[in-house]
A and B are shown apart, each in its own frame.
Chain A
Amino acid sequence: MYLKGENISFGYKKDNLILKDVDIALESGEVLGLMGDSGSGKSTLCKILSGYVPNYQGTISIDGKKISSKGYNPVQLIFQHPEKAVNPKWKMKDILNEGYLVPQTILDSFGIKKSWLNRWPNELSGGELQRFALARALSPKTKFLIADEITTMVDAITQAQIWDIVLDIVEKLNIGVLVVSHDKTLINKLCYDVISLADINKV
């Protein structure tokens, strides 16, 4: 399976394009790195790929088919700030199971403790919240995972732990991953291939 973005152009303001004619392709099971300067439009591209931005130009497709804006999106985005990705008025167990009933095996591999499930989001650390966000997004219906600086808020050891788990799960489910990071060592460790946004962006 291929996730393809072709001729993607977008600007938050009409006369100020941030992305121009960007082509990007991600294959099932592939772990692709994306690097680029701060403010160059990496997060913007991630949002476009996973259906968060309605008015871009170009086409996003999976195996040539457009992704429906209704129903479960096979392209799931994980954000840099997990505290914004959860409803502060929901208990963790409701947040976790919003998309599908997350199996115990995934909870165990992420080290999500039973006692966390009855807490509110503000009673967990950023790293703990991010595990929930990842578990929530890794349903069998997910084909591609867009990871936009998802471990920037944790220490090196936790970062390695989280990525070990994610890589293990995506390998089993044959999910393609786009890893966005400023951390060259991390990208080199995780990815077969790295692209720089500056190289594919004709702005």
Chain B
Amino acid sequence: MSSAIAMGNKSLFQGLNLRQKTILIISFTSILLFAIVIISLFLAGNALPTNFESKNLAPSLEHPFGTDWMGRDMFVRTLEGLGLSIIIGAFASLISTVLTLILGLFSSLGKTADSFVSWLVDLFLSVPHLLLIILISIGMGGGTKGVIIGVALTHWPSLTRVVRAEIKQLKTQEYLHISKNLGNSKWWIATKHILPHLSPQILLGTILMFPHAILHEASVTFLGFGLSPHEPAIGIILSEAMGYLSAGYWWLAFFPGLSLLIVVLAFDMIGENFGKLMNPKMAHE
């Protein structure tokens, strides 16, 4: 009896600790990412000094990430690139989330609407993602604008599929039928009953979309279909660095690549911990 109470207390205590730990991880990681964006915005104003006397320097205390063939500090370039990546990722996730929302709510209106959305999702998922981005990007005139639109318009299908399944399940709920019987329109039911149930899932989906969007933008840019060479993008830095790898300037690719990986993992970590917070076992209503 008393041991049962003690155990109950203990698990409650652990739950609280875990919850606090989770929140701590989320806050810390968010601050890190936010700091990168802020710093990169400050840096973006002033052009990096080119200094041919200190070109192609290996990492040192003065230049922790080394310097490139124009003597530019790679640490600063990497920060700027990461900041740009995160901003583009944020924009793309936002647009994709809005599309998910619109399509999800639209699918709730009826059978035909639902089939249409499902068809659209399958259509987009049937084309290789990177190819789709490149096609849209070229179609939109290429360059910075093209890749941003391409990334923004292609990240909704998987989240939309999840949201659509959730809506299907919700629609069997008795209170939705009651709402209809009380005279409420389909649109009213979609926004007042269905949407509040979806918002946690959509928020989580958006966070998890970030790393995908960032990596896709970097890949497309790396392949030469994306941002223009004078943008401080990670994709540009990496593709430039390729030319110097044979010369032994490993730091040109290594540190920017590693930083990109860390940023992507940071977003995954936020998403994962956010998902844990939403877990009914931990959520306190």
State the A residues within 8 Å of B (CB): 50-52, 71-73, 76-77, 79, 81, 84-87, 89, 98-99, 120, 122, 136, 141
Q: What does DSSP make chain A's interface, helix, strand, loop or mixed?
A: loop
Any A CB within 8 A of the CB of B196: yes
Q: A87 and B175: CB pair below 8 A?
A: yes
Residues in A with CB closer than 8 Å to B196 are 89
Q: B181 and A98: CB pair below 8 A?
A: no
Any A CB within 8 A of the CB of B6: no
What would 28 A/B residue contacts be, using CB atoms closer than 8 Å?
A50-B181, A51-B181, A52-B181, A71-B183, A72-B181, A72-B182, A72-B183, A73-B181, A73-B182, A73-B183, A77-B178, A81-B174, A84-B173, A85-B174, A85-B175, A85-B178, A86-B175, A87-B173, A87-B193, A89-B196, A89-B197, A98-B179, A98-B182, A99-B182, A99-B183, A122-B285, A136-B178, A136-B182
State in angstroms the CA–CA spacing of A72 and B185 once bound together. 10
Residues in A with CB closer than 8 Å to B175 are 84-87
Question: Max chain A CB contacts within 10 Å: which of B175, B184, B196?
Answer: B175
Interface residues of B in 160-180 (CB under 8 A from A): 173-175, 177-180
Residues in A with CB closer than 8 Å to B180 are 73
State the B residues within 8 Å of A (CB): 173-175, 177-184, 193, 196-197, 285
State in angstroms the CA–CA spacing of A85 and B175 once bound together. 4
Question: Max chain B CB contacts within 10 Å: which of A52, A87, A99?
Answer: A87
Q: Which of A77, A81, A87, A122 contacts B181, CB < 8 Å?
A: A77
Residues in B with CB closer than 8 Å to A84 are 173-175
Beyond A52-B181, A71-B183, list 6 extra A-B contacts (CB 8 Å).
A73-B182, A76-B181, A77-B178, A87-B173, A89-B196, A98-B182
Q: What does DSSP make chain B's interface, helix, strand, loop or mixed?
A: helix
Residues in B with CB closer than 8 Å to A86 are 175
State in angstroms the CA–CA spacing of A18 and B75 once bound together. 73
Residues in B with CB closer than 8 Å to A89 are 196-197
State in angstroms the CA–CA spacing of A144 and B180 once bound together. 16
Residues in A with CB closer than 8 Å to B183 are 71-73, 99, 141
Residues in A with CB closer than 8 Å to B193 are 87
Closest to B173 in A: A84
Residues in B with CB closer than 8 Å to A136 are 178, 182
Residues in B with CB closer than 8 Å to A51 are 181
State in angstroms the CA–CA spacing of A86 and B174 once bound together. 8
Q: B184 and A98: CB pair below 8 A?
A: yes
